[in-house]
Structure formats: C-alpha cells, structure tokens
C-alpha cells in the first residue's frame, strides 16, 4: 500500500462537542490518538468483552459515552480514532483498515509481515499528519479486545521472561490467568521467534493497533514530539518502537502503572517510571488523558 496516495480525513471524533470559547486558553496543546483493531486470539474468550467486539467499544467513544470521551469533552480536547484492524467498520473513525481482525495466534501467525509493515507505516503517517497542528504532547492509546494478551506474548519473547511472570488479570480478572499463561506457552511451543526482529514478533502475535502505535511512537521521536503513554499495551509498543530504531531520541511520559506485571517490566526496560501513578487499569487512553491534564496543572502552577 502506497500511503503517500492515501488522503483520509484526519478529523477528531469529538470536534462537534467542543466549546469554541475555550480554544487556545490552555498553555499545553494536546490531544489523544487511539488505534483500534480486533485480535483473533479474542476467540479464546479470555476477555470481559465478546470476541471481535472492539467496534462496540469504539462506538461508545463516538457517542460520547465512554469514560475517556466524557473526560475529553470536559477538558475540551480532541480525540482521533484510527481503524487499522476493526472486524466491523465504524463510521466516524479514520479508516485505514488493513484487514478485518488478525488471525488467532494459537493456530498460526496473527499477521503477514507486509501487514505489520503497513501498520507501522500508518502509525508514522498519522503522526506526520498531526504534527502540522503543533501539539506540545500527544497522548496515545488503543482499543482492541484481547490486545493485553498480545502484549504479554510480545514482551515475554522480547525480555525472555516466562509467561507466568508476565500475565496479569486483564479485563476478565484473575479467573482466566491460567488459561492466558497456557495460551502463550502453547503459542511459543512450536515457534522460533526472533526477539530482535520487531516485524517478526508482531507478525506472530499482532495486533495491528500495537504495530501502528509502534510506528507512531517512532515517528514522534524522529520529530521531537513528546508522547504520553497510556498503559501496558502502549508501553510494549514503545519497546517495539525502540526495537525498530534504538538510536531514536524517544520523549516518553508515563501516566499510570497497571496491574499487569509485564507493565513494570516494560517501563523498566525503557528506563521509565510512572510520572503520575494514577493506579488506572482501564485502557482506551483514559490514563493518558488524565496524565496530560495533570501535567497541564503542573505547568499552570510553575
């Protein structure tokens, strides 16, 4: 796919809710970017959400009902949702869909290498598009049922840590812990995965939203744009971005530490610690937007 020929409408999903009188009052100009995709491994029923139901969560953002969307309305900040892999198209998103959900990585690779490369390019493309708006910092997050498990599989290989020490409760709580550990162990049993080949890692486990996040983070580093990470999945995406270019100057901030053991491991590998540990275990950009808002108040006080 030649991204240079793509001209999607890069518009925020909540622009009609904002108050024009509040525009440009804040000393920090920031927004939230969410990449959305479905993951085939969700078919193993290891999430509180139904398999391939990510589009339902996206719609809650578009309708202004999701906690993140409500908070953004109150803060008068923009939200961009990029569909890179939703199983079902959702009107109102930025449509750059590569495929309708990844494959179940228990039975084969989640993605083709070319699909991973396209997702990374799309992430960079979105970052380039938004750089024209001169945001001081951009918060990033994801919407993808079961992508916490994908992130756990990825970091298990990258750091050489047992899945039992990586996996946490996720959205379904502790009741599926053993099942998730077993899924990753089974997936690794018949695979030789190169921990230093980022494209290979993402092709094995997905997801498209994680690959796009990695591309976005890397392009932001090259442009000197500060990034507020949301939680576990975005921290793993930052590790993947570093794997793509370990010489890039990453300007990363963290907003929270989730209950997933792999999150702290990812942050330590990035030499980061939560600037503001909000104790949020939610996703969908909620911790990122709260973190940027608190940074806003910090600037107001200085």
Q: Give catalytic residues, as residue numbers.
A: 284
Spatial contact of 261 and 43, defined as CB atoms under 8 Å apart: no
In terms of C-beta density within 10 A (0-12 exposed, 13-18 middle, 19 or more buried), how is residue 67 classed? middle
Please give the model's pTM, rounded to 2 decimal places.
0.90
pLDDT digits 0-9 by tens, 234-257: 999 999 999 999 999 999 999 888
pLDDT at 230: 94
pLDDT at 294: 84
pLDDT at 121 over 90: yes
Which domains are present in the chain? Answer: 25-301 (3.40.50.10210)
């Amino acid at each position: 796919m030649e991204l240079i020929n793509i001209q999607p409408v890069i518009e925020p999903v909540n622009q009609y809710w904002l108050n024009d009188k509040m525009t440009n009052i804040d000393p920090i100009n920031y927004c939230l970017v969410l990449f959305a995709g479905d993951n085939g491994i969700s078919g193993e029923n290891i999430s509180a959400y139904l398999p391939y139901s990510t589009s339902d969560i996206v719609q809650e953002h578009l309708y202004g009902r999701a906690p993140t969307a409500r908070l953004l309305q109150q803060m008068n900040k923009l939200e961009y949702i990029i569909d890179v892999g939703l199983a079902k198209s959702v009107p109102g998103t930025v449509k750059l869909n590569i495929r309708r959900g990844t494959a179940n990585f228990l039975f084969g690779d989640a993605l083709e290498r070319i699909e991973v490369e396209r997702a990374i390019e799309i992430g960079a493309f979105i970052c380039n598009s938004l750089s024209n708006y001169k945001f001081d910092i951009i918060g990033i997050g994801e919407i993808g049922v079961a992508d916490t498990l994908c992130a756990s599989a990825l970091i298990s290989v990258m750091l050489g840590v047992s899945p039992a020490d990586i996996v946490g409760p996720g959205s379904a709580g502790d009741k599926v812990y053993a099942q998730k550990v077993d899924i990753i162990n089974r997936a690794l049993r018949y695979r030789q995965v190169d921990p230093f080949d980022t494209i290979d890692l993402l092709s094995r486990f997905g997801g498209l939203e994680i690959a796009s996040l990695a591309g976005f983070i890397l392009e932001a580093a090259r442009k000197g744009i500060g990034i507020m990470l949301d939680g576990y999945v975005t921290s793993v995406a930052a590790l993947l971005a570093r794997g793509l270019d370990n010489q890039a100057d990453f300007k990363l901030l963290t907003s929270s530490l989730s209950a997933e053991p792999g999150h702290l491991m990812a942050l330590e590998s990035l030499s980061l610690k939560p600037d503001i540990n909000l104790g949020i275990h939610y996703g969908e950009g909620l911790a990122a937007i709260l973190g940027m808002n608190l940074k806003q108040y910090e600037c107001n006080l200085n």
